[in-house]
Amino acid sequence: RTPPSPVIPTRPSKRQPGTGLLTGWRTIRSLPALGWLVTGLTLSNLATGLLQAASPVIVVKHFGQTTTAVGLVWSAAAGATLLSVTICRFALDRLGMWPVGATCAALASLACLAAAQAPDYRSYLVLIAILMAAEGGMTVVLRTLRSRLIPPEKFGSTLSATVLILLLPFPLAGILTALTPPDALGHVITACAALQALGLFCAFARLRTDPALRT
For 114, other C-beta atoms within 10 Å of its C-beta total: 17
The third-level CATH classification (topology) of the domain covering 32-214 is Growth Hormone; Chain: A; (1.20.1250)
Q: Provide the whole-model pTM.
A: 0.85
pLDDT, one tens digit per residue, over 115-157 is 989 999 999 999 999 999 999 999 999 998 888 888 888 888 8
Element of type H or E holding 103: helix 97-115
pLDDT tens string 6-30: 444 444 445 555 677 788 888 888 8
As a dihedral over the C-alpha atoms of residue 57, residue 59, residue 65, residue 71, rounded to 10 degrees, the angle is: -100
Give me the torsion for CA of 144, 150, 153, 157, rounded to 10°: -90
**Which regions of 38-133 does DSSP assign to beta strands (E)?**
none
How far is it, in rounded angstroms, from Cα 8 to Cα 13?
15
DSSP 8-state code for residue 18 = T
Could you give the maximum distance between any two Cα atoms of the chain, in Å? Answer: 76
